[in-house]
Amino acid sequence: MAGSKRSKPKSVIHDARSDHVAAALRLAIRRAMQEAIRLTGKKTTHEGAGRSEQPLAQHAVEPASAPIAQAPKSTGAYRLPSFAVGLSGGPDSAMLAVHAAAVARDLGVGLHIFHVHHGLQAPADRWRNQVHDLAMRLRLPCHSVQVQVHLDRGDGMEEAARHARYTALARLARQHDVHAILLAHHRDDQAETVLLRLLRGAGPAGLGAMAPRLERDGVVYLRPWLDIARAEILEQAQRYKEETGWKPVQDPTNTDDQYTRAAVRERLAPQLNIRWPGWQANLARHARLSREAALVLDEIAEQDLRTLEPSDDLHDFSLLRWRQLSRPRQALVLRRWLACLNQRMPTEARLEDLMRQLRGLHALGHDRQMRVKHGDAHIVCRRGRVALERAALTDDEVKKS
């Protein structure tokens, strides 16, 4: 009733610091979206060079009651890309959806909610309902898909679920013409990833951890909050709960230390917080520097690969030219070659064995033939050329294909 509304006491809802955090979160999202728009426009302009540039027809404007993200606008010679938020229902991704919705309105771009139901926990159906409820509050179209997590890959539960999730997100992106998906990984996630990879003996590329922008299966993934602390996001989740009553879901596996990442979070991180306050920011900086070093090494490896007289399809290269490189660059270019051929990276021990065998050959490969198994293929050397020989399909495989 008019006149009966009482003003709320000053609390976290009106806290100036909380407002400052919200502004920082939105600024990070805005920058990520604007960069994606810029790169999309640049790519479209390049692809359209030499053709007459006619603006694409603008989508019909939906009624005011329709979700805000269903009418992407056109600008110049291309349509602004549509975005999605990968929303689990937890506080991090929920706050990403809340703040991304505001930014999307300002930029005039389409925004969707994508939810992957892993089917691994009893409350998963309720989590999906929570996600759809939040999407309705934000007036965003929401799309959920249930997946089967296959453990026969031998990678463990966490990695299997991750593989299923990215496969599902890519499928949703194709179905709904979404260019980029926003993910809510933050600085604490980044620090945990660096620790895990350091303990596993990763090199510069692995220690680069999560990139702010990643292209996978034709979809761009954006992580705008890698420099944002988890505590600040949780503060926003509390604020949103007090303002709206919507409560994020709590996944018990996030604190179950039988899972590797949860063990780092629950056992190791508290001790680091006591002894080295702010360690997360230092490891996030280490990840950023490692990514830069890895990019430089990639450029060197690409240049070295071109000096090996490779075939046009990169299927084979000169053994003699490879042996003229220093040992570290020999290892680097072999990894680059395998990556170009979409092969899994060998372990350090297997790579060292491969290099030993290549060095033991006659420079022109006339003394004997080498054949080293690598996954489903073989690395061979014939007539002085190192090549990848893919395994021939069996009769059963041919029938399946």
pLDDT at 366: 55
- Taking alpha carbons only, the member of 368, 377, 364 closest to residue 337 is 377
pLDDT at 255: 81
Lowest mean pLDDT among 178-182, 309-313, 392-396: 392-396
**pLDDT above 70 coverage of the chain, percent:** 82
pLDDT at 288: 95
pLDDT at 260: 85
Q: Has residue 148 got a pLDDT over 90?
A: no
Token readout for 13 is: 């809802």
* Average pLDDT of the residues in 228-243: 95
Residues 56-81 have pLDDT tens digits of 222 222 332 334 444 444 445 557 88
What domains can you pick out in the chain, each with its CATH number? 12-44+66-279 (3.40.50.620), 307-395 (1.20.59)
Handedness of CA 266, 271, 272, 276 (dihedral sign): positive
* Average pLDDT of the residues in 129-141: 96
Top pLDDT among 147 and 100 is at 100
Q: Has residue 303 got a pLDDT over 60?
A: yes
What's the 3-state SS for the chain? Answer: CCCCCCCCCCCHHHCHHHHHHHHHHHHHHHHHHHHHHHHHHHHHHHHCCCCCCCCCCCCCCCCCCCCHHHCCCEECCEECCCEEEECCCCHHHHHHHHHHHHHHHHHCCCEEEEEEECCCCCCHHHHHHHHHHHHHHHCCCEEEEECCCCCCCCCCHHHHHHHHHHHHHHHHHHHCCCCEEECCCCHHHHHHHHHHHHHCCCCHHHHCCCCCEEEECCEEEECCCCCCCHHHHHHHHHHHHHHHCCCCCCCHHHHCCCCHHHHHHHHHHHHHHHHCCCHHHHHHHHHHHHHHHHHHHHHHHHHHHHCCCCCCCCCEEEHHHHHCCCHHHHHHHHHHHHHHCCCCCCCHHHHHHHHHHHHHCCCCCCCCCEEEEECCEEEEEECCEEEEEECCCCHHHHHHC
Q: Has residue 50 got a pLDDT over 70?
A: no
Q: Has residue 371 got a pLDDT over 60?
A: yes
pLDDT at 242: 93
Phi/psi zone of residue 365: left (φ > 0), alpha (ψ -120 to 50 degrees), beta? left
Q: Has residue 12 got a pLDDT over 50?
A: no
pLDDT at 363: 59
Q: Has residue 96 got a pLDDT over 90?
A: yes
Q: How does residue 228 score in pLDDT terms, banded at 50, 70 and 90? A: very high
* Average pLDDT of the residues in 28-39: 95
Listed ranges 76-90, 108-122, 154-168; the one with the highest mean pLDDT: 108-122
**Residue found under tokens 């249930």:** 146
Residues 244-260 have pLDDT tens digits of 999 999 888 788 888 88
The strand order across the sheet containing 385-390 reads 316-318, 385-390, 377-382, 370-374
Q: Has residue 356 got a pLDDT over 70?
A: yes
Token readout for 218 is: 């034709």
Q: Has residue 226 got a pLDDT over 80?
A: yes
Q: How does residue 283 score in pLDDT terms, banded at 50, 70 and 90? A: very high
Residues 304-344 have pLDDT tens digits of 999 999 999 999 999 999 999 999 999 999 999 999 998 98
Q: Has residue 88 got a pLDDT over 70?
A: yes
pLDDT at 165: 92
What residue type is assigned to position 172 of the chain? L
pLDDT at 57: 26
Q: Has residue 230 got a pLDDT over 90?
A: yes
Mean pLDDT of the chain: 84
Cα–Cα distance between 101 and 112 in angstroms, integer? 9
Largest Cα–Cα distance in the chain? 96
* Average pLDDT of the residues in 193-213: 92
Q: How many CB atoms lie within 10 A of CB 143?
A: 16
pLDDT at 375: 84
Top pLDDT among 69 and 205 is at 205
